[in-house]
Homo-oligomer: A and B are copies of this chain.
Amino acid sequence: MADLGFIGLGIMGKPMAGHLVAADHRVHVYNRSPKPFQELSAKGAVPCRSSREVAEKSDVIFIIVSDTPDVEAVMFGAAGLYDGLRPGSVVVDMSTISPAATREFAKRLAAKKIDMLDAPVSGGQVGAEQATLSIMVGGEAAVFERVRPYFDLMGKNIIHIGANGAGQTCKLSNQIVVAVTIEAVSEALVFASKAGVDPSKVRQALLGGFAQSRILEIHGKRMIDRNFTPGFKIGLQQKDLNLVLQTARAMGVSLPATAVTQELYNAVSGQGNSDLESAALVFAIEKLAGHTIGE
């Protein structure tokens, strides 16, 4: 039984922390809003009043919050981790944030003999609840091995990608493929449907061949069924693609299809849909075609 910390008890963090509690670890938890405390506390988690208090009591601290500034506030803000951390502890950031900021945070923590891993996840709420997340890890190999038993409680496909920031870079690569494949499926299904062809038969045929993808399987079905309950919200997809495009620009990498996809997300979001599931990207192609799938 280890003393663990968990900060950020949202849609993802709450079930993830729950798996650590269920494995009989002492888990010190903190969240900006108090609601998720009660449920986890009833199961044995130890509620704290600040990130600093979590740091003071824990050897390994997991964070999963929304964006780069949120992680910075948890780590280095008022009553943040930095003031409470003991040398030899490990901070594991499972949020999806900037790879460049991640490397800077790791340096600042290293000055205090604190190790850091970036360990963003893929698999969404269902993956978090069923402990089947993919976890993409950046940081030193020895630190990865130390934290691995806890990752095993939260995920299935757990890969050490490289040095600090490599986990975030991998996650952003993941978001490129996911978003552009959603765009590919949107274009294909609207094309077929406007031509008068049954999109569900097209999906079925394509799943058996070279066009197969998990996105076609899951999001293609959502588009046909008109089911846009998240899942993963457009607003978060936009945040992630913004990180991708900023990081690419800083490196001098041009991503034409990702950029087009982000612009189409901007259109869909701008029409009041930012809380819909990311598969609603298809609205943009439907608007342009003057045709709704299955119409």
Contact = CB atoms under 8 A, between A and B. Distances in A.
Nearest to A220: B177
Contacts of A166: 195-197
Contact of A169 (B183, B184, B192, B260): B192
A257 B254 contact: no
A20 interface: no
Contacts of A269: none
Interface stretch (A11-19, A57-65, A142-150, A245-253): A245-253
A173 B122 CA distance: 27
A224 interface: no
A49 interface: no
Interface in A49-78: none
Interface stretch (A2-10, A80-88, A89-97, A208-216): A208-216
Contact of A209 (B134, B180, B208, B244): B134
A257 B235 CA distance: 21
A153 interface: no
A141 interface: no
A283 to B, nearest CB: 13
A289 interface: yes
B213 A252 contact: no
Most buried by B among A124, A162, A195: A195
A176 interface: yes
A181 B178 contact: no
27 contacts: A123-B209, A157-B209, A159-B204, A162-B198, A169-B191, A169-B197, A170-B205, A173-B191, A173-B192, A173-B197, A176-B188, A180-B181, A181-B213, A184-B184, A187-B256, A194-B251, A194-B252, A194-B253, A210-B215, A211-B215, A212-B213, A213-B216, A252-B290, A253-B288, A253-B289, A256-B260, A256-B264
Interface of A: 99, 122-124, 134, 136, 156-157, 159-162, 165-166, 169-170, 172-174, 176-181, 183-185, 187-192, 194-198, 201-202, 204-206, 208-216, 218, 244, 247-248, 251-258, 260-261, 264, 285, 288-291
